[in-house]
Amino acid sequence: MSHYFKRATRHLLFCTLLAVALSLTAVRLAAYGAGHFQQPIADAVSQALGVQVTIGQLSGTMHGVRPEWLFKDIALAGGGSPVCGSCVFAWICLRY
């Protein structure tokens, strides 16, 4: 009986490590290919905020196992925003 328990534990550990490795690979690929998601992100944020949002440049890197996305030249325009009529941010850095 304990043989089956040890074997099941090893399989569970292996599957968990494999899932973690695949997840980190997917996050790493998404971080390095962040520029491809620039327009869909801008469209989603524009729809959520109700104002036109443009992103000048989007890049991603990894710091160890933590992804970092850098948004440069972000502009919020129109919509009569109470914060500002037209805003431009030089850069915003998001870290997880």
- Look at residue 34 in the predicted model and tell me its pLDDT: 77
- Look at residue 82 in the predicted model and tell me its pLDDT: 47
- Looking at residue 92, its amino acid is I
Domain that holds residue 18: 2-95
Token pair of 5 as six digits = 């328990």
- What is the pLDDT tens value at each position of the chain, 96 positions in all? 688 888 999 999 999 999 999 988 887 887 777 778 888 888 988 888 888 888 888 888 777 777 777 888 888 876 554 445 555 565 566 665
Question: Which region, left, alpha or beta, applies to residue 50 given φ > 0 means left and ψ of -120 to 50 means alpha?
Answer: left
Q: Note whether 61 and 87 are within 8 A (CB).
A: no
- Look at residue 4 in the predicted model and tell me its pLDDT: 85
Token pair of 34 as six digits = 């962040």
Looking at the structure of the chain, the number of domains it has is 1
pTM: predicted TM-score of the whole model, two decimal places: 0.57
